[in-house]
Structure 1
């Protein structure tokens, strides 16, 4: 037992470490998770999941997949489909069956698999998987429309692919028995899928009804939802295997669109849980690999894998999206990006063994083939998504910028200074009138309410790395920072200081709102007065001849560091004066300086700017 606990802890630690490294160095997380699993499994022999976890491995993976799909479903907002509904509908309703048929045909005619095995594996390959798509989209910073399409396809097609595999397997058994029960098998599977979907809808509506009427206390809401997910999964699977994936996906979709008060808290909890499960399960599955697993594949199988990537996926996308009006650049991206993940491997392990037991010997090839396609797509798509998206103009090449919430003389002057530095910044406000100076100056603006659900569909948060809330209402600033903190990162949200420090009721707790940087601690009124008196935002690029020490010695004592723009374009708002001291060669320091300091610089020359 102690050994099992230690290995479970090792898996969790490796998963978290891989996710952190991926975030820190902007690397595809799924690639690092795969490498971690291979390192402790077939290479290091520290982990042997089948032997270590025994009969617990399959049910643990199955339940983890159920929770992951539920978390994906809860994030599917119907309002996201605005402008992408046609593409999503075609890729799921037309593309999924078409991909099944094309994949099965390629498996038989190119891979040399029997028709029963080809039909099952063709269904499995429909699964593109949120476990892989979600980490890739998080780091690629794709435009909203292709990102939404990939997310919906990945989540919706997971249960569809499992359903196709079940359908093919049941028909295979019926044909093996003489063919008399084919229609009965089809009806059984389809009825199971319908009942599973109905179960998901009813369970979701029941939870929403109970929450709205206050029948469940706050501390029991998340546990109740989690228990309902697992119960729905088990009940659906008890009638037809793998239809539980349909039930949990529909359950998540129903709850996610029910507009219940506790939705955000649940969504964040499930997101944390799903991240941990994705990390752990992917490491466990890749750790089960051994050199012999992949060595059973011959050149026919390798040719088939190439056909899946280069023929089946492009043909599926191009044929299913024909006549939809989806831009060609979106089609080109979708034709290439279709990584497979946990669900494909898990289903392959289940049906591969069953086909082999039923007398179809090549069913044993499903596991090595699925691992091969997962590794291939994870590596190829993980490394190519961002470059391809940039090449097609579907992802921002510039570093994440600064979002300034609240248009006034201070934020407008700061936005102008950042624009002069070619640093991306967006000035947002609910008043068109207050945005007028920024509009006349040609600055990037957003006219809308930051706390509205509509904002996330019009403002691309993938291109925002830092937030400064600078309205005159400290309570509103705190709400904006609290709302955007989980999206942007708690350490990247800031707000201006209150007008009357120590007496503002908005700051009820230390975990509400954002940090107050020294440059903005005096409050908007003081900062406006300083600008009226001639203070200005001054930029200085540090060089080998004019480093941080020389800059600080030459700067006016009253000046205060606002932010530092690193060489790679990252924006770091100064939390203290050490930010300027730690600035390196090539970094740009932006400071708020008094009027008599502008001409005081002797060595910087034009503020040291390039």
Structure 2
């Protein structure tokens, strides 16, 4: 028996992580291979039986896992991102959620013929969206920041709202289908649940910050203690008010992400990795519980139901929620076309289907298959169409000129300053807090964290950045940054310093060799020495009287051409790039100034270290 449990639990982890890797490899939303793998392992082959494997622990484990996932989602929500669209987000998670509930309720009632109770419960379950699906899609599509912020905040905040609504519908009606829904009771219940959850989450975040700020907890225990506080807040909130724990976990993440007293970047990185593991396990477990026989009574109705949700209910909810906003029609159309369902819908449907089955409620078995069909259908439709629609609407910049710089050390900041002076947006990313603060003091935009963290990437206004330069002293990190960002930045616009490559895998060596910046022999140490010897970054206009040949004669072979500015477009000069600036171009280069006469025309900045 013990051997069976070990094999079962180990298989869930192996299948989940394997499905995640397949999704990454095929550039598909991870939810699709996860669901397919779970279906095959569970109902198709009978290899996994989560109910037999986990027994009564199944849904407590699912609930705590969802809370941790929502906490991790809350950590990605920054207050400044929602500036200017706060009212839209508030309306989407209130008025929009109400319209989605009522519309889905009516659609389920008339299309599937469900009784009023089951239809209202299904409508409440499908109110939720989900950060586990929305955020990867946004990362891939890279829409303009305002739209991205709205969808990100809505996707995370609407989950506890929808889950609470579903619980209250179940509690308000119970198993008596003749009993009318008490709307005032439901509205009051939602308000109390969210209030209790919000208060507990706020207190939990404050209670966590204090010991961190006073160094009562060693850094190596920060992530473990954070997890302890999150689970404690979740349990305490649920004890005070049933099902308020999800809101507590979400609010706790948001508060921690926006406080300035302690650095939580290392916590964010850990929670991101834990979130991937939990998400993988949950989708395998929940999809393996589905019975194929439950789908037998669902035919064309499923397609019609999905079409109504995508083409009628979501657009109506967005239209009403944004009617008085300053969003243009293109932004409203895109918002109306992105509302995939994810893990919270699947987990809540699984829980309620089991509860109703134990109560002997007839017809409850359809909740789970309909929910899974909506999850698969919405993810598939939006994954295939949202990107092309965003490009058609002009919400994705075709040739963004911003530059993402990995590393915020002294001469990386000098490069960023020159690019900013030349009219190009830059943002620096560094794990060193001192470098980040120095960059901010110099008027530059900088983000504290690792570029390998999805939460850090989600903070970046990727729609405005068309190129990446990895300027750290760590060649492996530079290569990994390129591998991480190649899904969102065109391959030819990835650039990185290549220093020592001993011990690196073939994939990372190939990445460095292909995208080498300035040349293999001009790595971090070479540039560091050049700056320390008095090297300067210089902007040189190429004219008919001062050509690139004149530049080479004046500064010699040691000069390093870095960029060419042509008609307000920035071109990075890589190690494999032929340098041939023409008349009218501006050449940005690293030079050692020589005291000799020159016919170079006078031009502004010369920035020295």
Q: TM-score, normalised by structure 1?
A: 0.71
DSSP 3-state at the match of 2:577: strand
* Alpha-carbon offset, residue 331 of structure 1: 1.5
Give the corresponding residue for 2:54. Answer: 53
CA distance in 2, matches of 1:404, 1:189: 45
Count residues in correspondence: 505
* Alpha-carbon offset, residue 344 of structure 1: 0.6
Q: Is the 8 A contact 1:133 1:151 kept in 2?
A: yes
Q: Does 1:214 align with 2:215?
A: yes
Instruction: Kindly provide the CA deviation profile for residues 393-432 of structure 1, in whole angstroms up to 9, marking residues without a partner as x.
Output: 223556999645899xx99xxxxxxxxxxxxxxx985646
* Alpha-carbon offset, residue 460 of structure 1: 2.6
Q: Which moved more, 1:114-123 or 1:14-23?
A: 14-23
Instruction: Kindly provide the CA deviation profile for residues 379-400 of structure 1, in whole angstroms up to 9, marking residues without a partner as x.
Output: 2122222222222222355699
Q: Is the 8 A contact 2:131 2:152 kept in 1?
A: yes
CA distance in 1, matches of 2:17, 2:32: 13
Give the corresponding residue for 1:243. Answer: 244
1:159-174 matched pairs, under 5 angstroms: 159-173=160-174
* Alpha-carbon offset, residue 345 of structure 1: 1.4
Q: Is the 8 A contact 1:76 1:152 kept in 2?
A: yes
Give the corresponding residue for 2:471. Answer: 469
* Alpha-carbon offset, residue 202 of structure 1: 0.8
DSSP 3-state at the match of 1:326: coil
1:198-277 matched pairs, under 5 angstroms: 198-277=199-278
DSSP 3-state at the match of 2:279: helix
DSSP 3-state at the match of 1:126: coil
Give the corresponding residue for 1:555. Answer: none
Instruction: Kindly provide the CA deviation profile for residues 244-290 of structure 1, in whole angstroms up to 9, marking residues without a partner as x.
Output: 11111111112121224231011111011101111221122222334
Instruction: Kindly provide the CA deviation profile for residues 549-603 of structure 1, in whole angstroms up to 9, marking residues without a partner as x.
Output: xxxxxxxxxxxxx9xxxxxxxx9977xxxxxxxxxxxxxx42689xxxxxxxxxx
Change (3 A) 1:445 1:74: closer
Q: Does 1:144 align with 2:167?
A: no
CA distance in 2, matches of 1:313, 1:496: 48
Q: Is the 8 A contact 2:201 2:248 kept in 1?
A: yes
CA distance in 1, matches of 2:573, 2:292: 46
Q: Is the 8 A contact 1:41 1:47 kept in 2?
A: yes
Q: Is the 8 A contact 2:403 2:426 kept in 1?
A: no
Give the corresponding residue for 1:95. Answer: 96
CA distance in 2, matches of 1:279, 1:84: 32
CA distance in 2, matches of 1:91, 1:396: 26
Instruction: Kindly provide the CA deviation profile for residues 142-195 of structure 1, in whole angstroms up to 9, marking residues without a partner as x.
Output: 332222211111110000001111221122139669779986776556434322
Change (3 A) 1:313 1:184: closer
Instruction: Kindly provide the CA deviation profile for residues 35-61 of structure 1, in whole angstroms up to 9, marking residues without a partner as x.
Output: 322333334443232333333322222
Change (3 A) 1:355 1:189: farther
The runs of 5 or more residues in structure 2 that have no matched partner are 428-441, 450-455, 487-493, 501-515, 537-550, 564-571, 581-609
Instruction: Kindly provide the CA deviation profile for residues 49-80 of structure 1, in whole angstroms up to 9, marking residues without a partner as x.
Output: 23333333222222211110110112111111
Q: Does 1:6 align with 2:7?
A: yes
Instruction: Kindly provide the CA deviation profile for residues 223-243 of structure 1, in whole angstroms up to 9, marking residues without a partner as x.
Output: 121112112222222344322
Q: Does 1:451 align with 2:474?
A: no
Give the corresponding residue for 1:590. Answer: 577
Q: TM-score, normalised by structure 2?
A: 0.71
* Alpha-carbon offset, residue 461 of structure 1: 7.3
DSSP 3-state at the match of 1:467: strand
* Alpha-carbon offset, residue 486 of structure 1: 11
Give the corresponding residue for 2:521. Answer: 518
DSSP 3-state at the match of 1:139: helix
Q: Is the 8 A contact 1:468 1:496 kept in 2?
A: no
Change (3 A) 1:27 1:173: closer
Change (3 A) 1:537 1:219: closer
* Alpha-carbon offset, residue 4 of structure 1: 2.7
1:356-505 matched pairs, under 5 angstroms: 356=357, 360-396=361-397, 403=404, 429=415, 431=417, 436=421, 438-439=422-423, 448-451=443-446, 459-460=461-462, 463=465, 466-469=468-471, 488=485, 494=496
Give the corresponding residue for 1:533. Answer: 556
Root-mean-square deviation (CA, aligned residues, Å) is 4.3
* Alpha-carbon offset, residue 538 of structure 1: 10
* Alpha-carbon offset, residue 295 of structure 1: 1.5
DSSP 3-state at the match of 2:526: coil
Q: Is the 8 A contact 1:71 1:270 kept in 2?
A: yes
Give the corresponding residue for 2:504. Answer: none
Give the corresponding residue for 1:115. Answer: 116
DSSP 3-state at the match of 2:468: strand
Give the corresponding residue for 1:85. Answer: 86
* Alpha-carbon offset, residue 463 of structure 1: 4.3
* Alpha-carbon offset, residue 376 of structure 1: 0.8
Give the corresponding residue for 2:30. Answer: 29
* Alpha-carbon offset, residue 330 of structure 1: 1.8
CA distance in 1, matches of 2:399, 2:460: 19
DSSP 3-state at the match of 1:466: strand
Q: Is the 8 A contact 1:429 1:449 kept in 2?
A: no
Give the corresponding residue for 2:136. Answer: 135
DSSP 3-state at the match of 1:13: helix
* Alpha-carbon offset, residue 129 of structure 1: 1.0
CA distance in 1, matches of 2:496, 2:181: 69
Change (3 A) 1:183 1:261: closer
CA distance in 2, matches of 1:175, 1:41: 33
* Alpha-carbon offset, residue 366 of structure 1: 1.0
Give the corresponding residue for 1:335. Answer: 336
Q: Is the 8 A contact 2:43 2:291 kept in 1?
A: yes
Change (3 A) 1:140 1:392: same
Instruction: Kindly provide the CA deviation profile for residues 122-143 of structure 1, in whole angstroms up to 9, marking residues without a partner as x.
Output: 1111100112112222323333
Q: Which moved more, 1:331-340 or 1:457-466?
A: 457-466
Give the corresponding residue for 1:547. Answer: none
CA distance in 2, matches of 1:326, 1:494: 38
Q: Which moved more, 1:447-456 or 1:119-128?
A: 447-456
Change (3 A) 1:428 1:393: farther
The runs of 5 or more residues in structure 1 that have no matched partner are 412-426, 499-513, 540-561, 563-570, 575-588, 594-610
